[in-house]
Amino acid sequence: MTVERKRGGLGIKWLIVGIPMWLALSGGVGLWLHFRQQEREKQDHKHAYRKDIDAKSLGDDFSKIMDVIGPRHDDLDASRLSLWRMASMIEGAMGLNNIGYEVTRAAGGEGDRMSAPVLMADVLRRKTSQEIWLIVPYDSPSALPRGQATASSVAVSLAAAQSLVGRKLEHNIRFLFVPAAHAGEGPRREAAAQVKRLIAVQGSPRLALVIGSMLHEGKLSLISRQDGTSVVHQLRDLLSDADDAAICSRENNEFSQLLAAMEIPSAHLCKRPESAMTALQEDAMPAAKNVMARSAEELVSVLLRLGGELQKN
């Protein structure tokens, strides 16, 4: 009996001492995990800084693409070199020394079928259960002497990327810059297949959003490549009538159509002209930096809605 009492007493003492110690330890671990997550988020964006959409900076980027880089496609040696220059500009502008993203070459490069690289950057720098893929073609159609429309989509996307720095989102936004969305049928299909392979590795997107011309006034227009896509319905107040957006896409095999044919939920987002114009007329029209800046602001609103921006505490 005496031994049992001693054992019982020791057990009670261990409980009296152990429970507070366990609570303190578990609480300490919880706090450590909490502060570690905060520090990780700080580290994620220590080189990045958010900047509001600025028409002058956006206009400078657009002018650099148009006047310094020029047409971007694989049909001529000079324009093929321009594709690489465009890739270098995107890497530099998006990278840690400027906007602050980690930019990776997801595909392409010397020896690959696609001569210029596919470039990828994540807003959150971590995977989420579902993600928004913003696909930005940076090549231009070989039939056009200038390539204004795609230059506008690149410049607007760079401005949007800077405005998204540090945003708290439910769904990661992944920028994917593609060099062959306007190429011939074979390279264009290969580029779409490459996107599909990346998606297979990275995880299924909620929506793959292909960016088109950002040169025109008016609200953004969106063509959903899958009828009844629930993700698109939440954008109706930000967009013009989707049926009217057909003029934004004159090719039968526009890139989002190729993605949809591969069973990737996709849509095409663009600014449509007030009246019908040919691709050559669009390529020659005056480009206004203030118009593109408004397009960038609207694009950010769409991305924040799709990404599920979290309320600030």
Q: What is the DSSP string of 174-209?
A: EEEEES-TTS-HHHHHHHHHHHHHHHHHH--EEEEE
- C-alpha neighbours within 13 Å on the C-beta side of residue 97: 5
Task: In whole angstroms, give the CA distance from residue 91 to residue 109.
Answer: 14
Amino acid at 170: E
Give the model confidence (pLDDT) of 5-38 as tens digits. Answer: 555 555 565 556 555 565 556 555 544 454 454 4
Q: How far is Cα 57 from Cα 64, in angstroms, rounded to an integer?
A: 11
The pTM score is 0.81
Q: Identify the band that residue 49 occupies on the pLDDT scale cut at 50, 70 and 90.
A: confident
Give the residue, 228 or 310, on which the prediction is more confident: 310
pLDDT in tens, 139-156: 999 999 999 999 999 999
pLDDT band at 91 (very low <50, low <70, confident <90, very high): very high
In this structure, are strands 221-224 and 266-270 parallel, antiparallel, or unpaired? antiparallel
Q: How confident is the model at residue 234 (pLDDT cuts 50, 70, 90)?
A: confident
Per-residue pLDDT for 287 more than 90?
yes
Residues 254, 275: Cα–Cα separation, whole Å? 21
CA nearest 152: which of 220, 106, 88?
220
Distances (CA, A) of 178 to 37, 75, 151, 158, 310: 33, 17, 13, 14, 29
Sign of CA dihedral 259, 309, 212, 165: negative
Q: Which pLDDT tens digit goes with each residue over 174-213?
A: 999 999 999 999 999 999 999 999 998 888 788 899 999 9
**Residue 276 confidence (pLDDT):** 85
Instruction: Give yes or no for a contact between 19 and 254, defined as CB atoms under 8 angstroms apart.
Output: no
Q: Is it the case that residue 44 has pLDDT exceeding 70?
A: no
Q: Is 108 left (phi over 0), alpha (psi -120 to 50) or beta?
A: left
CATH superfamily name and code, 50-307: Zn peptidases (3.40.630.10)
Assess whether pLDDT exceeds 80 at residue 90: yes
Q: What is the reported pLDDT for 39?
A: 47
Three-state SS at 303: helix
Q: Which pLDDT score, from 0 to 100, does residue 203 have?
A: 80
Return the pLDDT at 191. 93
CA-CA distance, 215 to 245, in Å (whole number)? 14
Q: Is the pLDDT of residue 102 over 60?
A: yes
pLDDT for residue 249: 56
Q: Check: CB of residue 300 under 8 Å from CB of residue 165.
A: no
Residue 236 binned pLDDT confidence (cut-offs 50, 70, 90): confident
- Tokens matching residue 191: 């580029």
Express as a percent the part of the chain with pLDDT over 70. Answer: 75
- For residue 206, what pLDDT is reported? 86
Q: What is the reported pLDDT for 245? A: 53
Q: Once rounded to an integer, what is the mean pLDDT over residues 85-97?
A: 95
Distance of CA 49 to the CA centre of its chain: 17
